[in-house]
Amino acid sequence: MAGVVGDLAAIQVGRPRRLGIEGAADPMDRPWESGIVKEPATGPIMLRRINLDGDDQADRVYHGGPDKAVCCYPAAHYPGWRMELGLPDLAFGGFGENFTTGGLVESGVCIGDVWRVGEAVVQVSQPRQPCWKLARRWKIKTLTRRVQESGRTGWYVRVLTEGLVTAGSPIRLVERPHPEWTVAEANRIMHRDRDDLDGAAALAALPALSASWKATLQGRVESGVEPDPAARLEGRGSP
């Protein structure tokens, strides 16, 4: 099955930095720390189990780790966002992603997909759940919720085999164990049709699904208890 399904349009990395202005009147301008600001990576770069060389996360409770080693976002979404947000110069990496993917969107990517990219082999683990830092990055309070509700979320991959990756490389599909479980369908279960408990149980049963999504969905099925999404979307309790 190792056919080309897309390409690696761009690679971005960035380490956490302190942003904002001390004493700012607007909460959106006050100091905060994040690794969401990414810069283009030139030349081959090593992809390791946790992340790309030169990349890191400020909040390792909710970001990064083996199940979320690399954040991917479709290049196809950028023209629409540039128009909608009034940001004509919005560049790849603007959504905090490491891999900007060409030829791939949420409806055509499945949980468990195994890809070969350069020397590395990766596996799709979950849709991205955008957090309040995306809105803070662009000072658009509604942006995080708009990304989630639009379904233009992107997704995460885990690293099965470490190796060098280079922008422009083809993305080859090696295995697709769950063709019925696209990223778009997983987003539907998690965010829109929250009363679909059979769907939640089926999604949670996928071996390739990330541990955090499994826990959330299993909690929903078993007791109806799950984290308040407003905290993630709106940054409640954040600086």
- Per residue, the 3-state secondary structure of the chain, as one string, reads CCEEEEEEEEEEECCCEEECCCCCCCHHHCCEEECCCCEECCCCEEECCCCECCCCCCCCCCCCCHHHCEEEEEHHHHHHHHHHHCCCCCCCCCCCCCEEEECCCHHHCECCCEEEECCEEEEEEEECCCCHHHHHHHCCCCHHHHHHHHCCCCEEEEEEECEEECCCCEEEEEECCCCCCEHHHHHHHHHHCCCCHHHHHHHHCCCCCCHHHHHHHHHHHHHCCCCCHHHHHHCCCCC
How does pLDDT run across 79-130, given as a tens digit for each residue? 999 999 999 999 999 999 999 999 999 999 999 999 999 999 999 999 999 9
**Residue 239 confidence (pLDDT) above 50:** no
Q: Mean pLDDT for the chain?
A: 91
Q: What is the pTM of this model?
A: 0.91
For residue 31, what pLDDT band results from cuts at 50, 70 and 90? confident
Q: What is the pLDDT of residues 45-87, one digit of tens each?
A: 999 999 999 998 755 555 668 999 999 999 999 999 999 999 9
pLDDT band at 24 (very low <50, low <70, confident <90, very high): confident
Domains of the chain, earliest start first: 3-177 (2.40.33.20)
pLDDT digits (tens, 9 = 90+) for 194-220: 999 999 999 999 999 999 999 999 999
Q: What percent of the chain has pLDDT over 70?
A: 90
